[in-house]
Chains A and B, each alone.
Chain A
Amino acid sequence: MVITRYHPVHALLYLAVSFFASSMVFLSLGAPFVAALEIIVYAGAIIVLFIFVVMMLNLGNETARQEREWLKPKVWVMPAVLVLLLLIEMIILLFSNDTEPMQIAVVEPRKLALSLYGEYIIAVELTGFLLMAGIVGAAHIGKHKKEELHRFLQNGQGDQQKTKRTRKTKAITNEQTALHE
């Protein structure tokens, strides 16, 4: 349902439902910590980030109409058929060898934390680097560059530019709050 919607907000709501469902799958697999993290991080943070961007870009019914024009059957049939072939191949691979039935064992968060900060400590630090680089990169990319005008061109455009600049700073603060979420 997510990939067929025309309206961005509808797709995001279906995405949230999909995250809740996979969180339930994790819970039934015996991974309660991961299930909680799925809801908190995916449905809590990433969806909110998407919704912020959808609100900032003011996507609405016009985008839905445009999407309806773009999503013709002759556009999506060929990739869908190819990917369906891949899916069938993968399913055959999955079910070609029968294995022993598994027993569900709950991996409690204590064991997970011991493993995370024991043998994977370097990977945790590298993940910290990655997140830091992501934040800095997003803040740098999202920052609008000041338009450098030649001094001959600056006459008569001062007022226009001033209003534009205040709007841009507002956009930057919006995005920083979104990042903190």
Chain B
Amino acid sequence: MNSAQMVLLVATVLFTLGLVGVLTRKNVIFMLISVEIMLNAAGMAFVAAGSKWQQPDGQVMFLFILAMAAAEVSVGLALVLQIYHQHKTMDVDRLKELRD
């Protein structure tokens, strides 16, 4: 068992935990946190692969994932604020104006 496999294993477990969080929580803020965990796991897999091949490309990809996560979380939190001001709730099951 070498180091790259261990790091990939850690990244997989992190991704799984984030996926469980997205699937089970009903609060929008917790779902955003879980999405952050999943993005972090993906970046960790990129860095592990780049370290295995000894190329800087993996870290470059991590930088792009970082920027994307920052943009995503800012827009997502603005949407959360707007949802809370309009509906006074965080429950994703009650936000069903678009149904039918």
Q: State the A residues within 8 Å of B (CB).
A: 2-3, 8, 11-12, 15, 18-19, 22, 25-26, 29-31, 33-34, 37-38, 41-42, 45-46, 49-50, 53-54, 56-57, 59, 63, 67, 70-71, 75-76, 79-80, 83-84, 86-87, 90-91, 94-95, 99-102, 104-105, 107, 111-112, 114-116, 120, 123, 127, 130-131, 133-135, 137-139, 141-142, 144, 171, 175, 179
Contacts and interface: CB of A to CB of B under 8 A. Distances in A.
B70 interface: yes
Contacts of A138: 74-75, 77-78
A95 to B, nearest CB: 7
A175 B81 contact: yes
A100 B53 CA distance: 12
- The main secondary structure of chain A at its interface with chain B is helix
- Of A22, A95, A115, A133, chain B has the most CB atoms within 10 Å of the CB of A22
Contacts of A83: 16, 19-20, 23
Interface of B: 1-5, 7-10, 12-14, 16-21, 23-27, 29-30, 32-34, 36-37, 40, 44, 47-48, 50-52, 54-57, 59-60, 62-64, 66-75, 77-82, 84-85, 90-91
B36 A46 contact: yes
Given A31-B47, A102-B4, A104-B51, A49 B71 contact: no
Contacts of A26: 44, 47
Contact of B3 (A42, A71, A104, A120): A104
